[in-house]
A and B are shown apart, each in its own frame.
Chain A
Amino acid sequence: MLEIKGLYAKVEGREILKGIDLSVKSGEVHAIMGPNGSGKSTLAQVLAGREAYEVSGSALFNGTDLLSLSPEDRAVAGVFLAFQYPVEIPGVGNLYFLRTAFNAIRKQRGEEEMDAIDFLALAKERMKSVEMDVSFMSRSVNEGFSGGEKKRNEVFQMAILEPTLAILDETDSGLDIDALKIVANGVNALRGKERAMIVITHYQRLLDYIVPDRVHVLAHGKIVRSGGKALAFELEKTGYAEFEKKVA
């Protein structure tokens, strides 16, 4: 589904991604682990289309040149990024925001848009998977949300928008065990043959709950090692120092 070859990314003159190769098949969950500064978030943002970066290389998404698409068009193509630090948008209601996004994507795909009443019903149903309360609907996007609530909101949005490629950028950061379990449940409920996920994290702990098919270690902008889920346990024991040495 996703074929990345020789992906380089630079920002403000600094090269962050130094030739990433990655292949993700439909139905798979890939974990990307690495120390701070390795380029994990950059990879997520570059795949989502953040324009601050100078990018070269290729990323084919179901045969389409992903890097040539605008962020909106990537969303229409089925890409979703669960942000590490979701921003607040004061004055814009959560439900209104989601419905606008939902219908914008549908419109671009030539599909029928959903009215407010039907959308509310859909939202109420999907909210259950992340144990969110109806009351949050009327609140502004992420405004006054705790860290856990923000992350749950990201997964809730994913549940509504039903992407084919979901990139989760440190979805576990700032979460306690209980919140982590809720978020993981929400993510697992969305796993499927038609969907692929890239789960970015520091810690092995998340991967106890969201079990990956493949694990990759990112250090200094390159993938230095790939393996099965056991690789995550290995990392837990040895830390990242070994892998950083290899690239340096």
Chain B
Amino acid sequence: MSGVQTEIRALADREYKYGFVTDLDMDTAPRGLSEDVVRLISAKKNEPGWLLAWRLKAYRHWLTMSEPQWQNVKFPPIDYQDIIYYAAPKPKKSLKSIDEVDPAMRAMFDKLGISLAEQGRLSGVAVDAVVDSVSVATTFKDKLAKVGVIFCSFSEAVKSHPALVQKYLGSVVPYTDNRYATLNSAVFSDGSFCFIPKGVRCPMELSTYFRINAADTGQFERTLIIAEEGATVSYLEGCTAPMRDKNQLHAAVVELVALEGASIKYSTVQNWYPGDAEGRGGIFNFVTKRGKCAGANSKISWTQVETGSAITWKYPSVILQGDHSIGEFYSVALTANRQQADTGTKMIHIGKNTRSTILSKGISAGHGQNTYRGLVKIGKSATGARNHTQCDSLLLGSQCGAHTFPYMEVKNKTAQVEHEASTSKIDEEQLFYCRQRGIKAEDAVSMIVNGFCREVFKELPMEFAVEAQKLLSVSLEGCVG
């Protein structure tokens, strides 16, 4: 396969086109983690006492925890004292409208391709732009307010809707949940808050852009989405980050609550800086995402396309508490060069006649190590539960790895749990077929891989699906095997 071998050359170092830094005046906390830092964060945000108390409980609990050891990703020990836990860009004046956003920040958004000014002209996608721990501008609040939808920064929600936040915060991911979620609970800075009232179909897709800007600033985002009875919402999360030499920890927490008959669709296209060809730098994406189908006939659907980060470690999960509730997880995860991923989902069946679908597509290239880890847990009371899991791995090259750790715990004998898995490489015959038709080898690989991911891409909202396909093609440059 000499010709194919020559194609394997090149492009371990794909150009990370979003790599740049913006100089902004930063209001930053001193390096390190302590109770004082937690208090500082809370004070900066003028938080009510109950929230500070919650943070402190989390921080004190965190001190009793140790680093997990079971994961299939390797990284040097994290020095939690070497991180800055708060950074806020100094606003020139308080913002009443988009026009008043700091011009330097506006320029940054332009580079990211999401000019806030343009949002008004686009067909209705509201954007909550979070920059290094502080939400800058929230658009379309008025339009959404007309139907009673609340979409604002988490910090704002604490002030304007404290009862809601207090009721649901930590209800899906308790502050004791895991090392990184506990840390997040202590030092989270900001994120998104969405509330869709009874019977309302959110009129537009809600979206958030994240960005890590200053050096050594970890991102500790906190997002909470609540859909009341019969409500529907589709939420898009897309990330970019600048190049760094030092690893950056991203330990976000996302909680979704779906009441009776409600439906939440959460889509992510993740393109954090993955590190250079030798594996230096790159984001550590240790995220806790969980949804609770609290009411009967509710549905939560996670769709993710993960192509970035040095390490991706996340299990967007669904707790199927309500009878007849549905949980879905669709994932494409790419690990190239020296990237590592240990990702998957947990579907916890509690109510009756619950259903879950898991579709995971892992692509490994270069020296990438891709692990799927999934848990299907059928509780004693979960009569008539059904799960279907399909876990496919595609290996591009001979130096990469794909690993699968499926867990099935079934405590009810009426359950039906199905698991299918496949491991494949790009067939040289398929490649030759495409090339004989005039398609260049790299384009052929891209096309075949996109075909491999098609069932997952189908689940993404249209505009995201296009971005995801492009992202995958760019990420695959040079990965022919």
Contact = CB atoms under 8 A, between A and B. Distances in A.
Nearest to B454: A91
Nearest to A81: B436
Contacts of B439: 72, 100-101, 104
B404 interface: no
A57 to B, nearest CB: 18
A50 interface: yes
A134 interface: no
A247 interface: no
A87 B427 contact: yes
Given A51-B2, A90-B451, A104 B433 contact: no
Contact of B448 (A51, A86, A89): A89
B172 interface: no
A108 B3 contact: no
A104 B455 CA distance: 25
A140 interface: yes
A186 to B, nearest CB: 17
A97 B447 contact: yes
Contacts of B429: 87
A82 to B, nearest CB: 10
B10 to A, nearest CB: 16
A88 B427 CA distance: 10
A50 B450 contact: no
Contacts of A76: 438
Contact of B436 (A71, A90, A98): A71
Contacts of A98: 437
Interface string A80-106: 110100111111100001101110110
Interface in B435-452: 435-441, 443, 447-448, 450-452
Given A72-B439, A76-B438, A92-B450, A83 B3 contact: no
A231 B450 CA distance: 48
Contacts of B3: 51, 70
A97 B444 CA distance: 10
Contacts of B443: 100, 104
A171 to B, nearest CB: 15
A105 B450 contact: no
A78 B451 CA distance: 27
A157 B434 CA distance: 12
Interface residues of A, number: 32
B398 interface: no
Contacts of A86: 433
B478 to A, nearest CB: 17
Nearest to A77: B438
A100 B435 CA distance: 11
A244 B437 CA distance: 34
A51 B441 CA distance: 12
Contacts of A190: none
B452 A104 contact: no
B433 A89 contact: yes
Counting chain B CB atoms within 10 Å of each CB, the highest count among A72, A86, A98 belongs to A72
B451 A51 contact: no
A89 B2 CA distance: 23
Given A91-B452, A92-B448, A72 B432 contact: no
Given A50-B432, A51-B4, A83-B433, A75 B452 contact: no
A49 B434 CA distance: 12
B436 A48 contact: yes
A75 B448 contact: no
A51 B6 CA distance: 11
A52 B433 contact: no
A48 B3 CA distance: 14
A140 B447 CA distance: 12
A7 interface: no
A62 B454 CA distance: 41
Interface string B435-475: 11111110100011011111100000000000000000000
A66 interface: no
Contacts of B2: 51
B433 A92 contact: no
16 contacts: A49-B436, A52-B428, A72-B438, A75-B437, A83-B436, A89-B433, A89-B434, A89-B451, A91-B452, A92-B448, A92-B450, A100-B439, A101-B437, A101-B439, A105-B438, A161-B437
Interface of B: 1-4, 427-430, 432-441, 443, 447-448, 450-455
Given A91-B450, A91-B451, 5 more contacts: A51-B3, A51-B4, A89-B451, A98-B437, A101-B439
Q: Which 9 A-B pairs have the closest CB atoms?
A: A91-B451, A75-B438, A91-B454, A101-B437, A92-B451, A51-B3, A105-B438, A71-B435, A104-B438
